[in-house]
Each structure stands twice: as structure tokens, then as C-alpha cells.
Amino acid sequence: NIQMVTKWNKRNLSWRVRTFPKASSLGHDTVRALMYYALKVWSDITPLNFHEVAGNNADIQIDFSRADHNDGYPFDGPGGTVAHAFFPGDHHTSGDTHFDDEEFWTFRSSDVNGMDLFAVAVHEFGHAIGLAHISDMESIMRPYYQGPVGDPLKYNLPYDDKVRIWQLYGVRESVSPTAKPEVNGDEDHPFLPDLPENRSTIQPRKDEPDRCNTHFDAVAQIRGEAFFFKGKYFWRLTRNKHLVSLQPAQIHRFWRGLPLNMDSVDAIYERTTDHKIVFFKGDRYWVFKDNNVEEGYPRPITDFGLPPGGVDAAFSWSHNDKTYLFKENLFWCFNEREHRMDDGYPMETTLWKGIPTAMDDAMAWSDGSTYFFRGKEYWKVLDNKMQAEEGYPQITARDWLVCSDMQSDGPSAESSRTGAHSRQGQHDESRSENAYEVCSCTS
């Protein structure tokens, strides 16, 4: 373990953003708001209080700097080292936090080249109040950038990180170790815009599906995150089911090597044996190492011992490291280690009690359950059972994709189309009765 470092003796700490990123699309107010919420992650659970000040003698002076900026930790342009902060102490730089101004700082962006400012700020402020790097893969204090951590308004520190900061400062009065800190609305929190401020560059694309009113072509857990694929786009959820961005990302920009004219995928799964990712489309499949397709693909799905005709759903079951492939009312079990189909397959899908036939896809999730998706609904199967849980199906968009106002027991997923709308800031001209544009905004 890494040794503990110094801590602040005082409880009220001042902060100030002294310089802002020069080439970022994030405005000053958004940067200040993100810093506010990143500090609040720590103050919510400890007796520390942070307040923004003007002037040059804030305890935590925040700067966006380039290359060598005279503190012994030169930045190196995009990538590489992205930020650092100084531990608590009496030195005038103690607590100061620097971000590399040459990074592409983003907020609620699915851009894979972006660096989520909120995620990095939470990490650096962990240093500024005394935490060192740790090797725990789940920790926010892991030294390597692990991508966005989701919505700043909903972000919840991993429990081990809470314990480590509680060892330094104790628990904030209003919080018991197990209670979830509440954000109460009547404090004047700074406003966080739903979409990046320069809307002109991120207008919804014409062929962009509405995540709250669609069924999905494929759903998969990949490297612990959930991916929902629809047409040429996909949404991504972090390990704790936070939507990385309301905006879908384009498949081809992330998964390199798929044919550019491919307009959708059928099924996807991550192989447990080597963590490569398999995409199915029609009678062909592609294998990806990380997000680059491997040489020699696509290949025919007959490699699996499957008949021509394509695949509806595929998932890798962690209970036996085998891959289950579904097509209409039949399913197969493929032994990845021996690279062959298990004997006795195909079998009838009805063996999976309560699960629909001709599903859209299936996903094994980190809670040990398997989820089956069809239309706008999903079914849950616990552990190694083969029976849907009571109370399912439920509405996919509401439970996974930050949509609201859905009635799970509506007559049928399709007909409940009118009952759902995307919750945050999305234009939806199709619903304007009196020819006015309709925009719903709930935050």
C-alpha cells in the first residue's frame, strides 16, 4: 500500500480557477461549475468545506498550464501527463492543482479523444486534500485516466476511496458511512449545462436515433461497461450504469475496421477467454482487439457451427465461460476454450423460462445477472438460473438510458411509444401539435 501523506489542519478551504483552458469548448462558467462539483464530491462526505474566492491566495489555486510551468512537473501536450496537484502543507503551492492546457478537455462528451475534466478534477482534488495514488482498479485515485465517470450531479465515490479519505478527516456529520449523500436543491449550486455550450457544433444528427423511443440492435458488456447499439450509433454506460453522454457516438468512429456501409449490427459479446470483442452482422462476424478489428475478418458464422441466417443475440456467461447464441426460437452453446459447439445444440429457447424468442440481444452484467432485450423492454435472469425474474419485463430506456415517464406495464413496448420522451433537453419536433417546436428540459 501507498503511505498516507499530509492533510489539512483547517476545515474551510478556499479555491479559485485562476486560468482557464484556452482552446477548449468549455466556457469559464462550466469549468468553474465542474471544479465546484469535483470538490463537492469530497466535501459531501468529509468535514471539509470549499468556498470559491477571488485573488491569488486561495488554498487550492487552479491553473491550466502548458509544458514546463516551473513547478518541476512539466506537461507534455495531448496525452501523457494530463494534470497534477500538490499535497496539503504550509508551502504556498500546497493544494494547487494544474491541468494540461493542451489536453482536449470535455464534459459529457462521448469523444474518445476527449479528457473528461470532471473525472480528472475529482482525482486531482483527492491529491490536494491528501490522498496518494493507489493501485485499486476501481479507485478514482488510480494514476491512469479511466475515461468519464458519468454525471457530476450523480457521481458517487467508490466506497474504498471514501474509507481512505475518512481515515484522514473522519466522516462529515450529516453522513453515515452507508447513507448516500443527498444533494439538496435549495443550495445555490452552479448551473451545469446539459449539452456542451457551443451547440452549433453538436446538433443532433438527422439519422440519430432517440434512445428513449427505440429498440436496440445489440447490447453488450464490454470491459465492464454497457454498450447499447442502434443503427450507426451506440450509447455507453460506465460500470456503475452512468450514461457517459446523452449524445450517442458513431460506431465507425470508435470501432475501427467495420465496413463503412454497415448500417447496424446484430449482436455483440466480449469473449471471456481473451477479452476480444465479437460483432455479428448477417452471416459474418468480426473480432476486435480493443477497438480495432483483427486481420482476416469478417469470417462466416459457420466458424461457430451455426447455420447461415445470422444471430439475434449473443452473450458470454461468466458462470461457465461459454457463449450463448440465439436465433429466433433456438439457441446454441459455444465452448470458447475448445472452439466448438457443445453437443446437443441447438435447443429450444423456451428452456429459458419467461424469456422471449427473436430477442434483440442479451448481456451478462457485472451484477452476475443476464439481461435479455427485445423491443423497448428487458428481462432479468439471476446468476446461473434459466428463468426470468418476477416483475419483468421492465422498460429499458427508463432503467438504463436516463429516460422517464414510461409505464412498464403498458400494452406493448411498441405502442407505448407515445408514453416516453427523452428527459433532458432534446428537441422533438414530431410531438409539436401546434407547429411549435417542443423542447423538454428537466434540469
Q: Among residues 16, 40, 84, 281, which is the contact residue for other proteins, using CB under 8 A? A: 84
Looking at the Cβ atoms of 113 and 174, the one nearer to other proteins is 113
The CB-of-83 to other proteins minimum distance in angstroms stands at: 6
Q: Among residues 41, 45, 115, 220, which is the contact residue for other proteins, using CB under 8 A? A: 115
Catalytic member of 124, 197, 390, 429? 124
Our answer to whether residue 124 is catalytic in this structure is yes
Looking at the Cβ atoms of 145 and 254, the one nearer to other proteins is 145
The number of C-alpha atoms within 13 Å of 96 and in the hemisphere containing its C-beta is 17
Cα of first residue to Cα of last residue in the chain, in angstroms, is 41
- Work out whether 85 is an interface residue with other proteins (CB under 8 A): yes
- Work out whether 82 is an interface residue with other proteins (CB under 8 A): yes
- Work out whether 75 is an interface residue with other proteins (CB under 8 A): yes
Looking at the Cβ atoms of 215 and 271, the one nearer to other proteins is 271
The CB-of-10 to other proteins minimum distance in angstroms stands at: 23
* Measured distance CA(367)–CA(380) in Å, rounded: 11
Q: Among residues 26, 83, 249, 301, which is the contact residue for other proteins, using CB under 8 A? A: 83
One character per residue 380-419, x = contact with other proteins (rule: CB under 8 A): ----------------------------------------
Under rule CB under 8 A, which residues in 294-333 are in contact with other proteins?
A: none
Stretch of residues binding other proteins (CB under 8 A), selected from 78-86, 194-202, 377-385, 396-404? 78-86
Cell numbers for 257: 475496421
Looking at the Cβ atoms of 67 and 386, the one nearer to other proteins is 67
Cell numbers for 248: 450517442
**Helix (H) or strand (E) segment spanning residue 125:** helix 117-128
- Of 326, 316, 323, 364, the C-alpha closest to 340 is 323
Is the CB of residue 24 less than 8 Å from the CB of residue 104?
A: yes
Name beta bridge partners: 353: 387
| Site size with other proteins, rule: CB under 8 A | 24
- Work out whether 168 is an interface residue with other proteins (CB under 8 A): no
The CB-of-66 to other proteins minimum distance in angstroms stands at: 13
Q: Among residues 143, 224, 300, 391, which is the contact residue for other proteins, using CB under 8 A? A: 143
Looking at the Cβ atoms of 127 and 164, the one nearer to other proteins is 127
Looking at the Cβ atoms of 140 and 306, the one nearer to other proteins is 140
* Measured distance CA(418)–CA(178) in Å, rounded: 39
Return contacts of 49-54, CB within 8 angstroms, 24+ apart: 49/11, 49/12, 49/13, 50/13, 50/14, 50/15, 51/12, 51/13, 51/14, 51/15, 52/14, 52/15, 52/16, 53/14, 53/15, 53/16, 54/16
- Work out whether 70 is an interface residue with other proteins (CB under 8 A): no
- Work out whether 80 is an interface residue with other proteins (CB under 8 A): yes
Q: Residue 97: exposed, middle, or buried by beta-carbon count in 10 A (0-12, 13-18, 19+)?
A: buried
* Measured distance CA(45)–CA(179) in Å, rounded: 10
The CB-of-189 to other proteins minimum distance in angstroms stands at: 27
Angle at 226 between CA 207 and CA 289, to 5 degrees: 90
- Work out whether 164 is an interface residue with other proteins (CB under 8 A): no
- Work out whether 81 is an interface residue with other proteins (CB under 8 A): yes
- Work out whether 144 is an interface residue with other proteins (CB under 8 A): yes
* Measured distance CA(173)–CA(49) in Å, rounded: 12
> Does residue 174 sit in helix, strand or coil?
coil
Looking at the Cβ atoms of 121 and 401, the one nearer to other proteins is 121
Stretch of residues binding other proteins (CB under 8 A), selected from 81-89, 301-309, 382-390, 402-410? 81-89
Q: Among residues 69, 73, 172, 284, which is the contact residue for other proteins, using CB under 8 A? A: 73
Under rule CB under 8 A, which residues in 118-137 are in contact with other proteins?
A: 120, 123-124, 127, 132-133, 135, 137
Q: Among residues 69, 145, 171, 253, which is the contact residue for other proteins, using CB under 8 A? A: 145
Stretch of residues binding other proteins (CB under 8 A), selected from 6-14, 71-79, 319-327, 331-339? 71-79
**367-397 residues labelled b (16+ CB within 10 A) or e (exposed):** eeebbbbbbbbbbbbeeeeeebeeebbbbbb
* Measured distance CA(272)–CA(184) in Å, rounded: 42
- Phi, psi torsion values for 361, nearest 5 degrees: -175, 175
Sign of CA dihedral 200, 202, 205, 211: negative
Contact set with other proteins (CB under 8 A) = 2-3, 73, 75, 79-85, 103, 115, 120, 123-124, 127, 132-133, 135, 137, 143-145
Catalytically active residues are 124
